[in-house]
Amino acid sequence: MEKLQPHWSVKDLRLDVDAVLRGQGADPVVIRDRKLVLADIAARALEMGKELLSPQVFMRELNVSSFKHQKLILEDGLSLSGNWITSQLAPADSVFAILCTIGDGIEKEAQKQLDVDMLLGFALDGVGSAGVEALAQLACRNIEEKAIQADQRTTVPLSPGMINWSVDEGQPLIFEMLASVNDVVTLSPSLMMSPRKSLSMLVGVGEKLGEKGTTCDYCAMQGTCKYRQYGGHVQA
């Protein structure tokens, strides 16, 4: 088992105005064509928001012991159950539990600005969404690069809330897996994460994994998501 707390800074994140616009749920191409002022506000929010991002990643690698009766047995007495999530991870040799956050500074400032300048407030919220997305991508790339060096493959990032894995099922499990390393992100009784700009996911690693698709293949927003044409959320 490996416990990791990668130390990345804002400079390591791939952030630009288009990412901020997508973080707001907008199509950058449409915005630049029809509402250029919103792109200008997004640029302003990005410069302002970078100073408010505090990237942190909590990561733990758990070896897979066995797969029996639709239950994936991990080390330290941990396990995963459910037909879909276990079918995705059963061929893996290990499973990474990952929790990414950019802190609560950006959401506090976004909320403050909503009362003064609504468009800037929404754009700052987009910076937060783009920031945690970029951080998750960085974490996944890091895992995949190490897997390739070991002649292994990785699964797509698997997050609670995907079509076949509910938040109720997945979120408490990931927080249980990371209880020994996570001292920042909390989970409310209603399963809301705080800071709000946080992402949780599992990534399987192993020699016997097949070709992976994209997170879009399992997302409930397949027809409307602005990230789909860019390869989906949290891709390595």
Domain definitions of the chain by residue range: 2-62+96-230
Dist CA 41 CA 90 (whole Å) = 46
Asked if 95 and 205 touch (Cβ cutoff 8 Å), the reply is yes
* Mean model confidence pLDDT for the chain: 89
Q: Is the pLDDT of residue 136 over 50?
A: yes
Q: How far apart are CA 136 and CA 23, in angstroms?
A: 14
62-100 confidence digits (pLDDT tens) = 999 999 888 999 999 999 998 899 999 999 999 999 999
What pLDDT was estimated at residue 145?
Answer: 95
**Rounded average pLDDT over 188-206:** 97
Judged by average pLDDT, the poorest of 31-40, 51-60, 148-157 is 31-40
User: CB-based contacts of 214: which residues, under 8 Å, 6+ apart?
Assistant: 156, 231, 232, 235
Q: DSSP letter at 1?
A: -
Tell me what pLDDT residue 7 has. 81
Q: Which residue has the higher pLDDT, 70 or 119?
A: 119
pLDDT band of 233, cuts 50, 70, 90: low
CATH for 2-62+96-230 is 3.40.109.40
Average confidence (pLDDT) over 156-165: 92
Residue recorded with tokens 């002022």: 37
Nearest in space to 20 (alpha carbons), one of 51, 44, 52, 56: 44
Per-residue CA distances from 203 to 46, 145, 189, 229 (Å): 29, 13, 25, 22
